[in-house]
Amino acid sequence: MSVIVFGSINLDLVAKTPRLPMAGETLAGNHFLTAGGGKGANQAVAAARLGVPAQMVGRVGSDSFGQELLAGLQAVGVDTAGVLIDLDAHSGIAMIAVDDAGENSIIIVAGANGRVKISDVGRLIKLLPSAKVLLLQLEIPLTTVLLAAAAGQNAGIPVILDPAPARPDIPDGLYPLIDIITPNEIEAAQLVGFPVNDPETAAKAADELRSRGAGTAIVKLGAQGVFCASAAESFFVPAFPVEAVDTVAAGDAFNGALAAALATGLSLHQAVIWGAAAGALCASKAGAQPSMPDRQTFDAFLQEQTHFKI
């Protein structure tokens, strides 16, 4: 039984620079790489690398990037039968700058991701019976996210929404379809309308998101850790100490690992620890999909963190 992801697939064009450029500035970078990306695809790869079957539903363009992206997903074992090659679009692109401190800025051109529609939800619905958990993000049209969440709820499987990238127009009707919502500090603040930057404000934000209908709210606080509140419990998991090289896709690693853990029957608390560990490992390497930890690295890392033994 698998994790199924309905979302975006991008090719990331990554430039390393000493610092992020200012408006109007031309800056010399010192390293360039291309890598598979897109929040949806990254999350599918994160689950697959941990040894949990993952299926991807979405679109790539009919360009060479699309072929490269499909091959990359297949190489790590992601089932791409649900991915359509859109003959009238280019593949999704992300132009990413990463500075020496590991901070980043990203420009996305949606391409095929922006053309995901009801027919794609139809492909998702056919695959849902073989899935244990549905993972959603906000890099495809919101109407399709809403339909997919409803389909996941109808199928009786947990629906996880990573409300990224941050957007203010999430309809009220989406929250009751979501079992677990996983914003970072910026996304949480945008959703609830007040600053979220520590465990106290994260708890307040989680209460607000749950009052709108989300079953469980997990607020990611970056280097501080993760706050989680459900109907049954609330807890804080401190961040694993790692040297951040590139935080791109750390949130995706968190979501993919969270879903993978839940799909394999681990508790919510264990799943949040998996998410935090995968996020930390991802931040310690460059690139989105290339930085998702494999199971051996992941298990060894958790073993070393004696205070986090699960």
Q: Which residues are near ligand RIB by CB under 6 A?
A: 8, 10, 12, 37-39, 42, 94, 106, 108, 139, 248-249, 251-252, 288
Of 79 and 139, CB closest to ligand RIB: 139
120 in catalytic set: no
Least distance in Å: CB of 171 to ligand RIB?
22
Helix (H, G, I), strand (E, B) or coil at 151: helix
C-alpha 127/C-alpha 83 separation (Å) is: 12
CA distance 209 to 40: 22
Query: Cβ distance 41 to 73 under 8 Å?
Result: yes
When the beta carbons of 84 and 106 are compared against ligand RIB, the nearer one is 106
Q: To the nearest whole angstrom, how small is the minimum distance from the Cβ of residue 106 to ligand RIB?
A: 5
The answer to whether the beta carbons of residues 35 and 14 sit under 8 Å apart is yes
User: Do 39 and 162 form a contact (C-beta atoms < 8 A)?
Assistant: yes
Nearer to ligand RIB, 39 or 220 (CB): 39
Q: Which is nearer to ligand RIB, 57 or 157 (CB)?
A: 57
Instruction: Measure the CA–CA gap between 91 and 60, rounded to whole angstroms.
Output: 5
Least distance between ligand RIB and beta carbon 184 (Å): 10
Please tell me which residue in 198, 252, 294, 299 is annotated as part of the active site. Answer: 252
* Residue 40 C-beta: closest distance to ligand RIB, Å: 8
Omega into 238 within 30° of 0, i.e. cis? no
**Which residues are marked as active site?**
252
